[in-house]
Structure 1
Amino acid sequence: MLLIPVIDLMRGQAVRAVRGDRASYKPVVSRLCAGSDPVSVARAMCEHCDSTRLYAADLDALTGGQAQVEVLRRILQAMPTLEFWVDAGFADRAAAQRLRERIGPGAERIVTIFASESLRSRAQLAECCAEREASVLSLDRRDGRRLDAAGCWEAPELWPSRVIVMTLERVGADAGPDLATLREVQSRSPATQLVGAGGIRHAADLAAAADAGAHAWLVASALHDGRLPPLRR
């Protein structure tokens, strides 16, 4: 089971995500480092997980504002070996390309996250995920409801090789992982590499997620709270 640390970015700071209620997010308080500077938090999380991969949710962009280009650029510059998964509310492939162009050097290390809550059409799903090994699709849901105007959940034939199963109400909620939804998605596309998101509390949850078929899991709160021990190769 791979751990992929998550940094949630809002107004230039790393914030604590709780149940997908983005209006209430506060600057993160972490046992891993002091303060909420994004570069410091990103480094500490990746060092703790022995990870060269980091997932960032740009909440300014996801809530209709401008992408935090300078923050994303700073993280890339500070961590030259990082594989940077970025969700900035991309409605289509062109939006993702524009962000890469604005970031400039280092943007080739960005893995674009196309999220079902943001994609505008089934046609854009097909275009964005045409390079099946290069992109990642996030299947988003909250409180039992799919966030999916484009119909991504019902089009497994269009999914890329990696798919995130994102249960927003479990993010930061100390509620345990949503393994039932993970298994449902796996049944639709058994060959797809699944990455879970939300709910991990401790090592036993990670073991259960691996048994349920998860290849990796996105984690933040359990890291900041010191509930997962440091990983070392």
Structure 2
Amino acid sequence: MKCIFVFDILNGAVVHALRGERSRYKPVAEFSQVIESSDPLLIMDELRPVQVYVADLDMIMGRGNNMELIQEISKRAKTMADTGASRSSDLDLLPPSVIPVLGTETASISLIEEVSGQRRTIASLDMSKRRVLSRDKAMADRSPLEVLEELNHIDLEGVIIMELDRIGTCAGLDGEFLEKARARSRHPLILGGGVKDEMDLEALEKVGFSGALVATAVHNGMIPRKRIQ
């Protein structure tokens, strides 16, 4: 089970993400029990994660980027990054070593397919309250499980099941839904949102998931730092 440590970066600082309500995000040091800084590179040095997921919130919201930080992070750990790409040229600044995460919130199925033919790619099935978030009406009108099946024909490194309304909540797992997702997808699956402790990680592994995005449960001490190292 891969424990992939999450950096949500806004204005150069790591913030504590909660339910996808970006206007309410605060510097992670105000929340964390394990670090005292919100500087991404200082956190990298302190926690030494092996693999990280970066959400560049400035790029996602269309108001700048944190590409220099992503470059530095990628020198210290295996890195995947969501920069809110809606066209292939949006990925031109992303370092070649960084795996792009194309979320359905901004990327169409056709873009995911196009980029996957050019470089290693991870898709993110972005949801809130089990509704697919997408500007692509063809996806927005489908159920999450139907979109998972649509992604099966694309060559991907994996698919993130991103439950935005559960991010930062440590709400635990919905085992029934996750079992259905595992049965419908041919790709390695990673869960984002809701993981609360090591027991959840063990349960995810039993369902057949390849990994989990973790942040809040590390910062509150429920998942020990050794799991991301």
If the length of structure 2 is used for normalisation, what is the TM-score? 0.86
From 186, 189, 192, the counterpart of 1:194: 189
Check 1:142–1:159 CA distance in 2 against 1; reply closer, same or farther (3 A cut): farther
Is the 2:159–2:189 contact (alpha carbons within 8 Å) kept by the matching residues of 1? yes
Report the Cα distance in structure 1 between the residues aligned to 2:174 and 2:160, rounded to whole angstroms: 12
- Name the structure 1 match of 2:96: 108
Map 1:211-222 onto structure 2 (within 5 A): 211-222=206-217
* Identity between Structure 1 and Structure 2 (%): 30
Cα deviation 1:201-220 (Å, max 9, x = unaligned)? 11111111111111110000
Q: Which amino acid aligns with 1:109?
A: S
Cα deviation 1:59-117 (Å, max 9, x = unaligned)? 1111222221232233335x2xx211110101122211x222xxxxxx23211111111
Report the Cα distance in structure 1 between the residues aligned to 2:34 and 2:202, rounded to whole angstroms: 23
- Name the structure 2 match of 1:32: 34
- Name the structure 2 match of 1:41: 43
| 2:189 corresponds to 1:182 | no
Map 1:132-151 onto structure 2 (within 5 A): 134-150=120-136, 151=139
* Number of equivalenced pairs: 216
- Bigger shift: residues 216-225 or 172-181: 172-181
- Name the structure 1 match of 2:144: none
Report the secondary structure of 1:94's partner residue: helix
From 40, 48, 56, the counterpart of 1:58: 56
- Name the structure 1 match of 2:142: none
| 2:124 corresponds to 1:128 | no
Q: Give 1:231 shift.
A: 2.1
- Name the structure 2 match of 1:104: none
From 158, 163, 173, the counterpart of 2:169: 173
Q: Give 1:188 shift.
A: 2.0
Is the 1:194–1:216 contact (alpha carbons within 8 Å) kept by the matching residues of 2? yes
Report the secondary structure of 2:213's partner residue: strand
If the length of structure 1 is used for normalisation, what is the TM-score? 0.85
Report the secondary structure of 1:231's partner residue: helix
Report the Cα distance in structure 2 between the residues aligned to 1:75 and 1:17, rounded to whole angstroms: 19
Map 1:60-99 onto structure 2 (within 5 A): 60-77=58-75, 79=76, 82-96=77-91, 98-99=92-93
Report the secondary structure of 1:172's partner residue: coil
Instruction: Provide structure 2 residue ranges, at least 5 long, that are not aligned to the other structure.
Output: 140-146
Cα deviation 1:134-158 (Å, max 9, x = unaligned)? 1100101012211123325451322
Name segments (4+ residues, structure 1) moved above 6 Å. none
Report the Cα distance in structure 2 between the residues aligned to 1:203 and 1:222, rounded to whole angstroms: 9
Report the secondary structure of 1:210's partner residue: helix
Cα deviation 1:163-203 (Å, max 9, x = unaligned)? 110001111112113434432332222x3111111111111
Report the Cα distance in structure 2 between the residues aligned to 1:35 and 1:183, rounded to whole angstroms: 37
- Name the structure 1 match of 2:20: 20
Q: Give 1:162 shift.
A: 0.7
